[in-house]
Amino acid sequence: MANVAGWKIALDAGHGGGDPGAVGPTDLYEKDVNLEIAEKVKAMLEEFDVIVNMIRTDDTDINVDDRVEEANNWGADLMISIHQNSSSSTATHCCVAHCHDSNSKNDELAKTIEGQMESILDTYGQKASHQVQDCGLAITDGPNMPSGITEGCFISNPDFEALLKTDEYKTDQAKGIRNGILVYIANQ
């Protein structure tokens, strides 16, 4: 993988502290899963000498504006916010990469991560969907650098909540995100 060393990636594990994010059918908290996956992505990126700044390193709730400010002040080249999705329908199970359309690089980033996540998570029956939209979210509107959100799976789906309790699945979700970041960088 060419020229990935030295890139600065802000990794944001969504939610934390008093904000659990989405909650699964047996009370698995999105905030905990997000942090575990983010830590895996960090370790996987560092194998390629990519420099990672974890916006959240423990179970604390950080204001979204502060997360963005941290990435901007640090001078990140990319910011990725890691989440799981939730739906009132328990049947849904795709992975999604969201981005904000004011930055054309966001679209490329989302498409690339989505494609890499799908190629790994396809073994779990997950298909990707890519949404370029103004989510109205500070986490995608605020960063000065290309940024996006990954929604790895629906924690509201009992099958995927169960998978999210396994190290194997969390590792695979992390590999998809890691590969997406590396492929995006290599294409720049």
| Residues lying near Zn ion in the complex (CB under 5 A) | 14, 21, 83
Min dist CB 30 to Zn ion, Å, is 5
Asked if 95 and 153 count as a contact pair (C-beta separation under 8 A), the reply is: yes
Helix (H) or strand (E) holding 42: helix 30-46
**160's tokens:** 């995927």
- Of the two residues 21 and 152, which places its CB atom closer to Zn ion in the complex? 21
Nearer to Zn ion, 157 or 185 (CB): 157
Q: Which is nearer to Zn ion, 14 or 146 (CB)?
A: 14
- Smaller CB distance to Zn ion: residue 13 or 185? 13
Ranked by CB distance to Zn ion, the top (closest) residue is 83
Minimum CB separation from Zn ion for residue 102, in Å?
Answer: 21
Question: What single-letter amino acid sits at 62?
Answer: I
CA end-to-end distance (rounded Å), the chain? 12
* Secondary structure (DSSP) of 134-183: ----HHHHS-SS-EEEEEEEETTSHHHHHHHTSHHHHHHHHHHHHHHHHH
CB 75, min distance to Zn ion, A = 25
The least CB distance from residue 53 to Zn ion, in Å, is 20
Angle between helices 167-186 and 104-121 (to 10 degrees): 140
